[in-house]
């Protein structure tokens, strides 16, 4: 029995070319998905965005809680002295009386001030605000 191709079994070169062309188009579509730019969907962080929803709209962050700490001074003591503390003990701090108190937000110094009493409660009157540029300069040193 001789191997002879019938017309139905034969695949022409045109059919191969068409199949290869379809495969190339499918591969190209899979390899390079069409990505469309967000087009203003997200705010720009380079300071150029304007209008509602821009980074200048502080309303988004006004209700975020932060920890405010007023530091009168610090000291280091041994565990022995710590265990000996009792009611009425006095712990000496490194700050001098009348010296400005540090005001920290989330552990970062933002201001200094002096202690005041308002309606039988202690408060602090801010006397010096640390500017953002000063804070950055301190980080570099």
What CATH number does residue 75 fall under?
A: 2.30.330.10
Q: If you count them, how many residues does the chain have? A: 141
Domain that holds residue 69: 64-140
More confident residue, 8 or 12: 12
Q: How confident is the model at residue 52 (pLDDT cuts 50, 70, 90)?
A: low
Residue at 23 is within a domain: no
Starting from the edge strand earliest in sequence, which strands make up the sheet with 101-105, in order?
A: 68-71, 101-105, 108-118, 121-129
| Residue 90 DSSP label | -
Residue 84: per-residue pLDDT: 93
For range 59-84, the mean pLDDT: 89
Residue 54 pLDDT exceeds 80: no
- Quote the CA–CA distance of 43 and 134 in Å, as a whole number: 28
Number of domains forming the structure of the chain: 1
Here the tokens at position 52 are 């509602």
Residue at 2 is within a domain: no
Residue at 80 is within a domain: yes
Residue at 125 is within a domain: yes
Residue 105, SS3? strand
Which DSSP string corresponds to 19-86?
A: HHHHHHHHHHHHHS-------SSS--SSS---STTSTT-GGGTTT----EEEE-------HHHHHT--
User: Which of 53, 85, 91 lies closest to 72, judged by CA?
Assistant: 91
Residue 33: per-residue pLDDT: 57
Residue at 73 is within a domain: yes
Burial 35-60 (b: 16+ CB within 10 A, else e): eeeeeeeeeeeeeeeeeeeeeeeeee
Residue at 57 is within a domain: no
Residue at 11 is within a domain: no
Residue at 127 is within a domain: yes
């Amino acid at each position: 029995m001789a191997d002879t191709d019938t017309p139905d079994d034969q695949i022409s070169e045109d059919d191969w070319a068409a199949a290869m062309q379809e495969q190339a188009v499918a591969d190209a579509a899979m390899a390079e998905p069409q990505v469309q730019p967000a087009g203003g969907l997200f705010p720009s962080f380079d300071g150029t965005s304007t209008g509602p929803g821009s980074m200048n709209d502080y309303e988004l962050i006004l209700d975020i809680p932060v920890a405010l700490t007023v530091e009168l001074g610090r000291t280091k003591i041994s565990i022995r002295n710590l265990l000996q503390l009792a009611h009425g003990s006095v712990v000496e701090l490194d700050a001098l009386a009348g010296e400005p108190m540090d005001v920290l937000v989330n552990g970062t110094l933002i201001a200094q001030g002096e202690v005041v009493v308002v309606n039988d409660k202690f408060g602090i009157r801010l006397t010096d605000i640390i500017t953002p540029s000063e804070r950055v300069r301190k980080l570099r040193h």
